[in-house]
Structure formats: C-alpha cells, structure tokens
C-alpha cells in the first residue's frame, strides 16, 4: 500500500509573527525616547524631556544605581579633565585610546541597574561625548540590555548619513535644506566604467549590507569582556562564517559580472585596485583616496614584518593543530570547536587565548589598509573607509583582505578529517525531488528572477534642525539589487516520523573560464540560503518554504521618520505598534539573498540536505518552534544564548570531500537552477 502524502508547510513567517506583541505605554515611551536621543547627534539635545535629564542628572550622586561605580568615576574623570575625544574629531574603534574611552562609557550605560538610570545617563553623556563614539557605546549597550529587548534603532544610514552617502548627495541635501525645498537626490555608485570593479559596486556599497556588517560588530564586539555576562556563543566561529559568506557572495557577484574570483591580498605585494570613496566626514574632512598599485607600509606602531610574524605563528598553529595559550598550555584545534578558537585568535577578540603572541591579524589588516596613503601621518590624512565597519565593505580591498583571512580558515578546515557516511547520512530519510518556484506570473520552475529597484533614504538627520522649524522632506534614492520572492518545494520520504533540519546552499555551476567546478573546490564558495527545522511524517512529505523566511536575512528596516510617526500615532491611540522581542538589527538584507545572475540566465546548483534534528540540536529541550523564533540566526547567532544547531557552520560542506559519489547520501539532492537578471521588477 502506498504511504499517504503529507503536505507540510513550514510556516517560518507565522512562527516569527507569534513572537510579536502589542506595545504597551511603557514600551512606546522608551522607543520614542531612544529615537529622540538619536536625532541630529551632532547638535545639542532639543527634546524637552531629555534636556531635563541632561541638565539635572548627576551620575556621581547616583553611584548606587550602577553595577560598576568605578566605571562611572572613570568616565566622569575623562569628562572633567577634558580628555575625551573632541566632538568634531573622527572616532575610530581601532584606536586603542578612543576605544578605551568608548568602553568606559559603554560600561556606564550597560551597568545601569534600571532603564530610567540608563536613559538619564545616556542623555547626560550625549552632548559631552564625540557623537559617533557615543552612538557606538549607546547602541551596543541598548542591544545587550534586557530592559531594551525589542527596542528598534533607526537605520544606521539615517542616524549618520555621512558614513553611507557620497559627497555630492550631502552637498545637494544642504542646498535643499537652505532653500527649504523638498527634494529626492539620486546617488550613484563610486568609480566609472573605466574601472572593472565598478561593475560590483552595487554589492559592496549596498547600504543594507554596510548596515549589516556594522551591526554584526555591535552584536559581537571584538573588545567584549566575559564579565559582561551576556554569552557570545561560538563568537569566533561566527566571525569566520559571516565573513566567509560575504566573500563567497562577492565572488558570486563577480562571476555574474564576468569578473574572476577576488584575489587575496598579500603583505609584500601591491594593492592592485585603488579606491576613491567620494565621501566626506561630518566635520568636512574627506575620506582618503587610495591610488592603484600601492604597497603596505610600516606604521609608527605596526610594521609589515609584524604582520608576517603574527601570521606565521597562526600558520604554525594550524599546521600543528595546537594553539599556545598565554600560560604556555597547548590547546588542540583538531576538532569541531577548533574553528572558534582560531576565529578568536585571528580577529583578534578579547577572548583570544594569547593575544600578545598571536596579535590581531584581522583588525591590524583593516588599519594597515586604512592608513596606507599616509602611514606616518605626515599630512594628517583622516582614517580611510577600512577603519570603520559602516564603510569598510565599500572598498574592494575589504574582500581581498578577507579572502586572505578566509584562506587561513580553509587551511585549518582542510586538515580536519572528512566526514564519513555515518556523519552525513540520515537513515530512513531520502530526498525525492527539489524545485524552486518564483512568485511572478512569468516564472518557470527552477528559474529565479533578480532586478534592480530603488530605495529611499531619509536625510532629515544630515542637516541641522534650527529651532522649531518644520523639517524639509529630503531623501536620497539609491539603486539596489532585489529578487522576486520564491519558495522551495522539497519532496522527502521518511520511513518513520522524525524531526529534521533542512540545509540549503547555492553555488555557481561554472567558474570564470566556463569550466565545471569539482565539488571539493566548489564547496568553499557555497552560499547558505536557509536552514530550518521540519517535522517529517512516515511516507512522502512535501516541504514548502518561502524565501522571505530565511534565517540568513532580515526585512528592510523602517525609516527614522516612519518609526517616529508610527510610535507617536500609537501613543495617541490611532494605531497599534507591534514589536518583536527577538528583533535583530544584524542580518543580511532580505533582497540580497540571491546573487545577481545574468540577463541571459546564469546556472547555479542548489544543494539541499536534511539532517537529524535530534542529533544536531545542542540541548534536547529545544523545540523546532523555538528555533523558528530566532531571526537572522545564520550569520548572527543568538544574543545571550546557545546557537541551537550544534553542527559546524557550513556543514556538511565545510570539510574536504574526497569522493562526491560517497559524499552525496540519499538525504541530499542537487538540482540546477537559473538566475536571470531583468531590467525591471516582474509582474506578480
């Protein structure tokens, strides 16, 4: 007798919706206070309530309301002695002195014992601190406080627009403000048709991806101390995997535009590609341009030789499968957890087992690139784009640096034993068929459509607000990659009722030369599209999953002005404002889930794997519904908890594949799909 077919709709969106709740008066008040605090950061506070806090609150008289009174005293000393970074200076997180000041302020805000004290301390500190230094400390504190769960920060590119926009857009915005003329200003990508790298500028300069990269480093700061109590589960591995996936995506975009895969930087070779950011800091200084074919130079406190020595020690650790701790112990990295230790060393984070010996290869690489045009500060050139997480991905050298770092991780992964069949197979489970179906009318099975559309950026924060005058509606419009929504339809046969995890990856079928890529080579460029739990009944199951539910991506954020309007209307009782306590600012933009493809269509291979949920999950009590409530889990992990999937990130394609025939077990399936880029959004 044929087993009954069971239709399983994996309701990711519905599960996430269940985490939303109606905001009460307390939440609405807090949300509006945060928005008002972040308006016009370069101007003094004008909100009446916050002004009262700024002028009346005394941290010194409220030491009992802070977990760390010493941090409060230290910050007050910096303020009273005039040692804080000047308000019109350029804040760099990679500058040790400036970072130490920021961390002190963070410890004050994070250590406030209740929300009211947190807000009053923030209002008191705001106008006494460098704006971007304050913004970073405040944002990290808010993201990690329990009493701020669900509070939404405005889009990063609308809080500090100068860090995301080109100089010509800023100039036109000021002109529109002076003329009090509502304006929409088009913004172009940097470079020209004479530079091949300009073909992929839409990816590196995408404001959503810039924002994701910035927020990832707020959720997982390299300076985070263990005594802050919020657990950063597998932070080193997340550092590896998130940046690894960014490089894989960049390579896929390059292939979509007839460019070869990005080459890694080398410390003793020329940086072939120059970069002209065409952007200006808020204080009027221009981001420096880097000409073609520059070489790394020694900095006053860091030499090229230092970089080679540190990298040599990391390579020795990988080759020997052991890292040396600060107290001379040896820790094995020849295991699943080794990648986490290695990630913490290479970044380097405060969790590095030996930061003096292994240095901070990644962080110093950013600084070396940032200062390459004026290494001795002979001309007082300001920091380059590589010295800020908001701007770093705009420079093609970002991906070259991370390809270099990624190759170190690959050396480690290639030394681990390949997975054997018992680790790959899911006995009794077989994938019978896989297809993808687009939502537009003209869609054909296994063909997906990408296109470019426009996004508007609210520029009200870019120009000063004088007195009580009404703001002028000024927006920038940028072109951005998008794709039609689609769904996966996967037919799975199971011998018995089981729980599984579906893992979906994408990779170009052909390389730049038009050659078929062997699986063991292709696997390192696999792009993870989704990973989700599923309940399988006995017999045939049809699993359907919408692309909008991907654990890799987040939806477009609400604009600053829309957030303010929605909250104010909810306070007046005119509408409901819902919030999600699991809301994450970190996550790849939903519209960037797919690479661009080509106008004539570009063939990719979709790999689908179903693994055993009960073997993969880290704690037996975690239910599939709990996993579904965790947004942007793929690149951004879990805030203050364990990542539920115990498998290595990228499993099962993170290790060498000796024999594709033995590797591809019945619980895996591969299908060809085509991604076609069209000139305009298709009709739905």
Q: Which residues contact 347 (CB under 8 A, 6 or more apart)?
A: 222, 236, 239, 360, 362, 363
Closest to 159 in 3D by CA, of 117, 84, 85, 210: 210
Beta bridge partners of 617: 645
Catalytic residue list contains 347? yes
CB 109 within 8 A of CB 66: no
Classify residue 527 by its DSSP letter: E
Query: Angle CA(576)–CA(578)–CA(580) in degrees, nearest 5?
Result: 175
CA neighbor of 523 nearest in space, from 662, 663, 347, 666: 663
Of 413, 421, 334, the residue nearest 655 (C-alpha): 413
Q: How far is CA 381 from the centre of its chain?
A: 28
HSE, side-chain direction, 13 A CA sphere, residue 231: 8
Q: Do 529 and 504 touch, CB atoms closer than 8 A?
A: yes
> Concatenated DSSP letters for 11-30?
-HHHHHHTTEEE--HHHHHH
CA proximity to 669, closest of 493, 539, 512, 511: 493
Beta pairing, strands 429-438 & 183-187? unpaired
Let me know: does 323 contact 342? Beta carbons within 8 Å: yes
H or E, element range at 212: helix 207-219
- Please count the CA atoms within 13 angstroms of the CA of 683 that sit on its side-chain side: 2
Q: Which of 158, 347, 484, 669 is catalytic?
A: 347
Helices 131-144 and 115-126 cross at an angle (nearest 10°) of: 170
Rg of the Cα trace of the chain?
25
Active site residues: 347
């Amino acid at each position: 007798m044929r087993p009954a077919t069971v239709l399983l709709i994996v309701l990711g969106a519905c599960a996430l919706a269940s985490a939303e709740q109606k905001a009460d008066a307390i939440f609405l008040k807090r949300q509006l206070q945060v928005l008002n605090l972040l308006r016009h950061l370069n101007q003094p506070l004008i909100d009446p309530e916050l002004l009262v806090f700024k002028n009346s609150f005394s941290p010194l008289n409220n030491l009992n309301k802070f977990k760390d009174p010493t941090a409060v005293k230290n910050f007050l000393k910096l303020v009273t002695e005039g040692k804080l970074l000047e308000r019109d200076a350029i804040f760099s997180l990679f500058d040790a002195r400036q970072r130490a000041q920021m961390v002190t302020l963070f410890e004050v805000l994070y250590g406030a014992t209740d929300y009211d004290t947190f807000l009053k301390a923030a209002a008191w500190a705001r106008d006494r601190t460098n704006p971007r230094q304050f913004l970073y400390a405040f944002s990290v504190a808010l993201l990690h406080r329990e009493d701020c769960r669900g509070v939404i920060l405005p889009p990063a590119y609308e809080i500090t627009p100068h860090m995301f926009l080109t100089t010509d857009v800023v100039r036109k915005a000021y002109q529109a403000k002076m003329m009090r003329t509502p304006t929409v200003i088009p913004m172009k990508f940097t470079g020209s048709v004479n530079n091949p790298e300009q073909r992929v500028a839409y990816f590196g300069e995408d404001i959503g991806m810039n924002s994701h990269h910035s927020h990832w480093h707020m959720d997982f700061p390299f300076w985070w101390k263990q005594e802050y109590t919020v657990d950063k589960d597998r932070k080193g591995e997340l550092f590896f995997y998130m940046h690894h996936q960014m490089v894989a995506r960049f390579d896929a975009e390059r292939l979509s535009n007839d460019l070869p895969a990005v080459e890694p930087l080398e410390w003793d070779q020329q940086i072939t590609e120059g970069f002209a950011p065409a952007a200006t800091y808020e204080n009027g200084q221009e981001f420096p341009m880097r000409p073609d074919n520059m070489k790394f130079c020694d900095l006053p406190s860091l030499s090229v030789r230092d970089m080679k020595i540190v990298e040599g020690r990391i390579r020795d650790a990988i080759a020997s499968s052991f890292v040396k701790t600060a107290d001379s112990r040896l820790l094995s990295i020849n295991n699943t957890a080794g990648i986490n230790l290695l990630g913490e060393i290479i970044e380097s984070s405060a969790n590095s087992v030996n930061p003096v010996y292994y240095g901070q290869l990644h962080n110093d690489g950013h600084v070396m690139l940032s200062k390459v045009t004026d290494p001795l500060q002979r001309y007082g050139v300001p920091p380059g784009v590589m010295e800020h997480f908001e701007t770093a991905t705009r420079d093609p050298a970002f991906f070259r640096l991370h390809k270099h770092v990624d190759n170190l991780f690959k050396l480690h992964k290639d030394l681990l034993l390949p997975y054997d069949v018992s680790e790959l197979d899911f006995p009794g489970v077989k994938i019978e068929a896989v297809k993808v179906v687009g939502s537009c009318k003209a869609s054909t099975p296994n063909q997906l459509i990408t296109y470019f559309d426009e996004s508007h950026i609210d520029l009200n924060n870019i120009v000063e607000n004088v007195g009580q005058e009404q703001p002028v509606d000024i927006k920038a419009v940028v072109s951005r990659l998008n794709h039609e929504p689609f769904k996966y339809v996967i037919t799975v046969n199971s011998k018995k009722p089981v729980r599984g995890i579906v893992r979906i990856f994408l990779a170009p079928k052909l390389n730049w030369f038009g050659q078929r890529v062997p699986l063991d080579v292709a696997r390192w460029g696999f792009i993870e599209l989704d990973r989700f739990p599923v309940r399988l009944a006995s017999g045939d199951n049809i699993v359907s999953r919408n692309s909008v539910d991907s654990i890799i991506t987040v939806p477009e954020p609400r604009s600053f002005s829309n957030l303010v309007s929605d909250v104010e209307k909810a306070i007046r009782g005119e509408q409901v404002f819902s919030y999600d306590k699991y809301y994450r600012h970190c996550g790849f933009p939903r519209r960037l889930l797919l690479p661009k493809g080509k106008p004539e269509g570009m063939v990719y291979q979709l790999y689908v794997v179903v693994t055993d949920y009960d073997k993969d999950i880290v704690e037996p009590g975690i239910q599939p519904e709990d996993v579904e409530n965790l947004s942007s889990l793929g690149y951004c992990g879990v805030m203050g908890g364990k990542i539920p999937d115990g498998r290595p990130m990228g499993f099962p394609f993170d290790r060498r594949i000796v024999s594709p025939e033995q590797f591809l077990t019945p619980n895996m399936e591969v299908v060809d799909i085509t991604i076609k880029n069209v000139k305009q959004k298709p009709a739905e």
